Amino acid sequence: MIVMDTRALKGMLVDSVSLCRQALGLPHGRTRAQVRALKASLDETALHPLRIALIASASGRSEAEITQFVDEFKRLDYKGSSRLDGWNSLGAMGVSDCTTLHTLVRAFNPCVCVETGTAAGISATVILRDLERRGEGHLYSIDVDSPRANRYGELIPSELRGRWTLRLQQDAPLLPGLLGELQTIDLFLHDSRHTTRHMRWEYEQAWPYLRSGGVLASHDVITTTAFDDFCRARSNEIASSGVVGNLGFIIKR
């Protein structure tokens, strides 16, 4: 019991340091110069061609087809609701990262999808719209039980909710059990607690259940080095990977 308590205390300390460094503008494992360079790279003018090139290469589709997917997203309204007020301060996924997520989903056509961190349901809506378009698939979302729980997914249109299941986590993590139930998944999206330790834990949990050719995506990859570290550690199991703005993706070999 003492060993378990010591490990838990150490984990809490590591997470606290990671979050404090982020609040100070110095994400864990990165210098201030690296952080400035990463933030400067988030300009959509530069991201647009990068998004097309990376996803075309990863999916084997033509750049013209990927460009069509990007243009398609521009015609869809994900952020037009006033109900988004109050979520932006909590790190809701922005238009640029939603564009990348939409393009990935269109390029790879996942059916069994899992995400952590639902909040208003912006990323969930991106995924669910394509599942509904194809008439197949389901999205399983996990978020922590909190006073805001009754508002989770409030931006998801009613016509998409038949393909969506939300599970609320209280004490024990729900991700291992959900993955065990599903056995095989096509898409995993991390967008929950952005600490080095937790991000890496979620990646490691999802990876064995991700099918060959499946997509592991992660929001806020510039906040820690967890995504880069995972890519290096699993390099021989990765067919392709890339980072567009603040959204990273990995295609399993």
Q: Decide if 220 contacts 74 (C-beta within 8 A).
A: no
- The answer on 69 and 14 residing in a single domain is no
Predicted confidence at residue 89, as pLDDT, reads 43
Pairing of strands 185-190, 210-219: parallel
| pLDDT one-digit tens code per residue, 158-192 | 999 999 999 999 989 999 999 999 999 999 999 99
Considering its fold, how many domains does the chain have in total?
A: 2
The residue-averaged pLDDT of 71-100 equals 68
Average pLDDT, integer, range 23-39: 59
20, 131: one domain = no
pLDDT at residue number 3? 47
Q: Do residues 153 and 32 share a domain?
A: no
20 with 79, same domain? no
- Do residues 4 and 47 share a domain? no
Q: Which domain holds residue 14?
A: 1-40
Instruction: Assess whether 130 and 18 both reside in one domain.
Output: no
The answer to whether the beta carbons of residues 83 and 154 sit under 8 Å apart is: yes
In terms of domains, do 16 and 135 share one? no
Task: Specify whether 137 is located in the same domain as 193.
Answer: yes
Tell whether 10 and 104 lie within a shared domain.
Answer: no
158, 72: one domain: yes
Same domain, 53 and 128: yes
Helix-helix angle 196-206:175-182, to 10 degrees: 20
Summarize pLDDT for 186-217 with one digit per residue, the tens: 999 999 998 999 999 999 999 999 999 999 99
**pTM score over 0.95:** no
Same domain flag for 24 and 147: no
